[in-house]
Chains A and B, each alone.
Chain A
């Protein structure tokens, strides 16, 4: 446990020493927020956004989105890159437990997502008239579950992809598809049949619905179960496929 704490702290310091990564993780969600806010405002239109104001819809959606961006992009790039460089091999040869190495990356991802989400909520509250969450415990639970979901997917991608370039390419692609079709971009109501089907299949769609469930008391249906299920499967697969070199 002490080792995990030390490794996590070190990983966080290493993260902060990569200015571009920090910028990507913290500033990009804000940029998207203000662009969308500028375009759509927060007027209620019954046809879109599940019948609520655009910003009331997007803020909880973006909380889920930040967990996706650090989980699907930063985390796999980090793990695959460390394998490529031989960092993982060195840890392995020194009998560093895999749980410590991966755990520290997940902890770092989680903390970064948390910072990013808090920053997002603060900026949104200052910029737009958004309502307070209906249930803070539920929002927190949905955030934690969503962060775990994308962290497990990220570890899986990092485990199976050969190097950081491949991880970057596939991570960004998945993230972008989920952003557009998962409900963090255009309102889900404007997505036509096929796009909506793909959107329904993205983990992000369900992660968004769980956060919105807590924030706005909108029924999330089976999304809580779906998120939990994908998390469990991805974790099992990541443990199965993790390799040091």
Chain B
């Protein structure tokens, strides 16, 4: 693959199911070696989008290229080179972990050894367990291991940490970074903001079948995060004079807790002003906007 040729490029993707438009206008590109996030509320068209890229769906409009192939005409070529951890999919309940790993591994005999794969994903002890007896988290980890069994250039992970407990999610994040560090491009579909913020190099936010924002997590937070918020607590007196402090736009109080909103170096100016008035709150801090704030402001999910 040539440098600078995107692993995935999507221009104005459109997909309808009968009269329902699941994806109306989605465009983005994914560079080699990055972890690319697709975020959005349920029903936004995330899964339809990635399934179109995996060659599992026909598309109704737009130009799509995955690893240089068109998923409509060359779906088989693409499927051979990608790994897919699908969202709604299973294995027979009575199939054992090692049997699944062995079966999917034999699709590409030059791929990684399945013993190592299931060990990487913490399933070595569950090797002889039946799929149906695994917990939700173990099933998800097995699906990711199977997605990597053909040594793919590009892997799609669709809501892979759903059903994992917090500790397993952290482990999964590390493993996803390891996948990328080995040179595999990762497309991560998620509705967990902290996951996207922690893992993704770049991401798109999809809502109602459209891309509503594109950028790095930090870039989106700066653009849509709603400025800087400084919080502290104090006796409950009126501190309206804080509005006069440079960079401050607004002050809100709820009993003894204060929130100062503004932009730029708000914290330094507020701290100086408070100290000058003889107030030195021990809990003075700047709240960082998260991707969650961005998401809520973009998709109107706050209600």
Binding site for B on A (CB under 8 A): 2-3, 6-7, 10, 13-14, 17-18, 82, 85-87, 89-90, 92-96, 245
For window 90-130 of B, CB contacts with A under 8 Å fall at 90-92, 94-95, 99, 102-104, 106-107, 130
CB distance from B83 to the nearest CB of A (A): 8
CB-based contact B79/A95 at 8 Å: yes
> Contact check: which of A7, A18, A90 meets B89 at CB < 8 Å?
A90
Quick one: closest B residue to A100, CB to CB? B107
> Contact check: which of B92, B102, B146 meets A94 at CB < 8 Å?
B146
Take A93-B56, A95-B79 as given contacts and tell me if A86 and B88 are in contact as well, using a CB distance cutoff of 8 Å: yes
> Contact check: which of B86, B89, B99, B107 meets A96 at CB < 8 Å?
B107
Cα distance A146–B146 in the bound complex, in angstroms: 37
Quick one: closest A residue to B100, CB to CB? A10
Quick one: closest A residue to B55, CB to CB? A93
Asked if B11 is at the interface (CB within 8 A of a chain A CB), the reply is no
CB-based contact A87/B89 at 8 Å: yes
CB-based contact A87/B91 at 8 Å: yes
> Contact check: which of B54, B76, B86, B107 meets A3 at CB < 8 Å?
B107
Cα distance A87–B95 in the bound complex, in angstroms: 11
Chain B: interface residue total (CB-CB under 8 A): 26
A-B residue pairs, 8 tightest by C-beta: A86-B89, A95-B79, A93-B84, A17-B94, A85-B90, A90-B89, A95-B80, A86-B90
CB-based contact A87/B56 at 8 Å: no
Take A3-B107, A6-B106 as given contacts and tell me if A87 and B79 are in contact as well, using a CB distance cutoff of 8 Å: no
CB-based contact A86/B106 at 8 Å: no
**A-B interface contact total, Cβ < 8 Å:** 62
CB-based contact A18/B104 at 8 Å: no
**Other A-B pairs beyond A18-B94, A90-B90, A94-B104, 8, CB < 8 Å:** A2-B106, A17-B130, A82-B92, A85-B90, A87-B89, A90-B143, A94-B84, A95-B150
> Contact check: which of A3, A7, A14 meets B94 at CB < 8 Å?
A14
Q: Which residues of A contact B143 (CB under 8 A)?
A: 90
Cα distance A96–B88 in the bound complex, in angstroms: 18
Identify 27 residue pairs between A and B in the complex whose beta-carbon atoms are under 8 Å apart, listed by A's number: A2-B106, A6-B106, A10-B103, A14-B92, A14-B94, A14-B95, A17-B130, A85-B89, A86-B86, A86-B90, A87-B90, A87-B91, A89-B86, A90-B89, A90-B90, A90-B143, A92-B79, A93-B54, A93-B79, A93-B84, A94-B79, A94-B104, A94-B146, A94-B147, A94-B150, A95-B80, A95-B150
Quick one: closest A residue to B84, CB to CB? A93
CB-based contact A89/B104 at 8 Å: no
Cα distance A13–B250 in the bound complex, in angstroms: 69
CB-based contact A13/B91 at 8 Å: no
